[in-house]
Structure 1
């Protein structure tokens, strides 16, 4: 009798692993210490999950790709610290003054406890108002109305609300690893590529690949012969922060208040990465622990496809998504040092039940 196909495949993988000294993720829940993971096209079918879901770290997992930030990888990432220069990636809490998508503005109140002797202060803010991590409660897989690892809206609000996919799980685990900056804005300026950061402009995988080559980085995953390591934290600079500061306050406030609705006609429009399949394969197959950009949406907005990258990155893959990172100083430091990798750490808010968080992020070169 012939062997079952899956058993044969597992044995073949075991032989390949022995010969290559790899450890391939084959059995769910995956071991984060594995050295080889399936591509997007090879993902296993998860019973009860939407097609393309990578809910592979266990039934009660709410940190997703942060599982890849193992002690071994964090220790290896610490070797990126060479000059010891510290670079914050956080915009001031009151920037942008009027957040995109007509979100609430930041308010700061000083509270006098004892005149001339003791003061407190009070923040009123929307965690999506500035430099932010989109948490797994922020954006669902739209067709199924499901957030990461089977979480539903009823888990977030209402009488049955609980802590599934709460941002505090990230805080308890922590975020630290090797950061990689792709400075698309500097590359575009060098090549004479013009675009408006406040309009829909999709950056293709090919453009990012050429940007990487210009910086001396092969953006393919290490498994395919490239320079991207499992667990890396991706940063893409589009120049949105520079564009924001170049505009008069009235104009940038008006742009943030443009009408918003899902679909191609959305009045909110921003530069970002394209939704093309090659981009999706790359974002998945590199096994980044998190991805981020400096614009309000990371992906080109609005999507001109029938789907959003937010659905895949957050709900299906469980990958933290950062937006409005201040990458201006980091860009300059990377240019001066002629290297675009560094150690990065972030302290999300330890808020049980929370949706998202400001980043509180630091790059160390």
Structure 2
């Protein structure tokens, strides 16, 4: 995909009743990948050159974290079963989006207009259209760029556990302060500091957060149109964050939903609850912000999301 030929956000068609632009025809009819199309062979070859030290850093939380689960999800049940001379695992009540994960294109709908691409039928088990298994075929692999918002906003009045929108201008400021150029096909990795703050909570505080279902507070990307415009015009392939929703929660209904703007309208995959703490420390120590990002979702036909299974190679 020639990223130089992509229309700017301002040139995309618009849904006036939603107040947002959409990119349903940009990558062709029946597209399943959205902006993952921007990770081409040249982009991948350049990303592979970022492996300098050979260090491997895990970016995924254990499957049972956060604990208790957030957003009304249930904890999974892990059973070990003996089959003859072999032993097997079984998971029940397993939510693929309960820990570090990708939201697929069936995760969020745009009212009567449908999901990404204008697909209007409801999700169904085994339905291959807009299924997460399409992303698993090649994985989400490319140049990871860490924007360490938490380090940039390291002030007494910044609390990642508070409802604090991170604006498009602030993302630009972080990129400028880190002297990093965002390139087409990048996987944008945003460290809000939420995960570090969550880890500092005691069990009762974590339980109280889970009891609030989706109404707990967290810092995150502003859900307004300027954020969508910036990420589209940056030509990123995907965005992941260390907080539960990428966007600020609970959020202002008058501003709208960044999930709707990015996933459903622009085809930009969203990754949540990534562990960027260790990789941030290592990158800061090396004076760099980029690395080879590798994530392979589950090949679950009809899946709406998947564990990320992500690592950074430095």
- Contact 2:20/2:261 (<8 A) preserved: no
C-alpha distance in 2, partners of 1:153/1:258?
Answer: 31
Question: Per-residue displacement from partner, 1:317-346 (whole Å, max 9, x unpaired)?
Answer: 111100000111111111111100111111
C-alpha distance in 2, partners of 1:118/1:250?
Answer: 39
- The offset of 1:270, in angstroms, is 1.6
Q: What residue number does 1:210 align with?
A: 173
Q: What residue number does 1:241 align with?
A: 195
1:163 paired residue among 121, 125, 128? 128
Question: Per-residue displacement from partner, 1:84-130 (whole Å, max 9, x unpaired)?
Answer: 1111100001111112112111332211234xx53111123101211
- Matching of residue 38 in structure 1 with residue 3 in structure 2: no
- Contact 1:334/1:340 (<8 A) preserved: yes
- Contact 2:144/2:293 (<8 A) preserved: yes
1:327 paired residue among 264, 267, 276? 276
C-alpha distance in 2, partners of 1:329/1:150?
Answer: 39
- Contact 2:216/2:249 (<8 A) preserved: yes
2:146 paired residue among 175, 181, 185? 181
- Contact 2:20/2:225 (<8 A) preserved: no
Question: Comparing both chains, which one has the higher relative contact order based on Cα–Cα distances under 8 Å and sequence gaps of 6 or more?
Answer: 2
Q: What residue number does 1:94 align with?
A: 64
2:182 paired residue among 196, 215, 228? 228
Q: Could you say what secondary structure the match of 1:254 adopts?
A: helix
Q: What residue number does 2:229 align with?
A: 281
1:197 paired residue among 143, 160, 169? 160
- Matching of residue 68 in structure 1 with residue 31 in structure 2: no
C-alpha distance in 1, partners of 2:20/2:204?
Answer: 44
- Matching of residue 318 in structure 1 with residue 267 in structure 2: yes
Deviates more, 1:36-45 or 1:335-344: 36-45
- Contact 1:106/1:129 (<8 A) preserved: no
Question: Per-residue displacement from partner, 1:258-305 (whole Å, max 9, x unpaired)?
Answer: 044xxxxxx232210112333221111111100010000101112323
Q: TM-score, normalised by structure 1?
A: 0.80
Q: What residue number does 1:106 align with?
A: 76
- Contact 1:239/1:294 (<8 A) preserved: yes
C-alpha distance in 2, partners of 1:88/1:184?
Answer: 20
Question: Per-residue displacement from partner, 1:105-159 (whole Å, max 9, x unpaired)?
Answer: 1332211234xx53111123101211010000101113x35101122243x138x
Deviates more, 1:250-259 or 1:124-133: 250-259
CA 1:52–1:45 in 2, change beyond 3 Å: closer, same or farther?
closer
- Contact 2:133/2:303 (<8 A) preserved: yes
Stretches of structure 2 lacking an aligned partner (at least 5 in a row): none
Q: What residue number does 1:4 align with?
A: none
Question: Per-residue displacement from partner, 1:201-251 (whole Å, max 9, x unpaired)?
Answer: 11122222222233222xxxxxxxxx1111000000011111111111121
Q: What residue number does 1:9 align with?
A: none
Q: What residue number does 1:77 align with?
A: 47
C-alpha distance in 2, partners of 1:296/1:278?
Answer: 21
Deviates more, 1:103-112 or 1:49-58: 49-58
Aligned CA-pair RMSD: 2.0
C-alpha distance in 1, partners of 2:229/2:156?
Answer: 25
Look at both structures and tell me which one has the larger radius of gyration over its CA atoms. Answer: 1
Q: What residue number does 1:299 align with?
A: 247
